[in-house]
A and B are shown apart, each in its own frame.
Chain A
């Protein structure tokens, strides 16, 4: 029972995370929601988990829940990667603005424009 409650709390946290993620990365949000609901269902109906586990060739229902958890972790890792990409896009825009502003300033000072605009 304690494990079930702990897992439920963690899966609810995933649901919250999925809701926050949905706006930025809808696919990740939907995958997280699906995985979290699947996890919740199997945590509270373990007999179905065992039956499904046997059906797909996994030993026990507990193992299936573990696999779902691994799946959720991978989805979160992917989302982390996407967030890093978004941050890099912002850094790129900032660096580009600085580089172009410097270049334009140098060009105005030196209309010949054939010198390093560092």
Chain B
């Protein structure tokens, strides 16, 4: 089954990404996908640059965090009738050319989630400290969700409309990546992993997560379980 390009909505959460956002949006728009950028209260003109590059921009009145911004984009795109949804980092780590592989995996495997993995297929040069952190995070995620995945913190993922309807993020900040996987596991819907390439550069590495961030994510996940 061929998926029309305009049925694919690429969602990005962006906070102060003026340096790269136009290029990232243009990359996906050039292929023909619809692009929705949630400008999460940026103060550097990110929203205007994204709009100029062809994205549909939704603006949070205050900075709420990447998880909150993604949920806003999910709610909006579902309300507008999106059939296939892709989450995509706004910092230039991902390539629009990987999206087709994710959508193809959804259709071919009749799955509701296609999760990008940097550790499948073509090897990428992941910095050693990042590799170690990701290994531990992936081990933890496998143990707590039961999902047989190889890359627990990859922001590039695709989902069907049905799959997206099962995602209700309440972790506003970085812990949303783990929360999504928990909700995928809870949904009982089919998922597949698909190789994608992550392009590390000084900009994306500076925006990436440290060991302390990882510990804060664990605390966030724990705190969430303490109240309704």
Contact = CB atoms under 8 A, between A and B. Distances in A.
Interface residues of B, number: 30
Contact of B58 (A86, A91, A103): A103
Secondary structure at the A interface, as helix, strand, loop or mixed, is helix
B154 interface: no
Given A25-B228, A100-B79, A113-B56, A85 B223 contact: yes
B102 to A, nearest CB: 23
Contact of B64 (A78, A86, A92, A100): A92
Contacts, number: 81
A109 to B, nearest CB: 13
Contacts of A100: 58, 72, 75-76, 79
A25 B54 CA distance: 45
B59 A114 contact: no
A99 B60 contact: yes
8 contacts: A28-B227, A91-B64, A92-B68, A99-B59, A99-B72, A100-B72, A100-B79, A113-B56
Interface of A: 24-25, 27-28, 78, 81-82, 85-86, 88-89, 91-92, 95-96, 98-100, 102-104, 107, 113-118
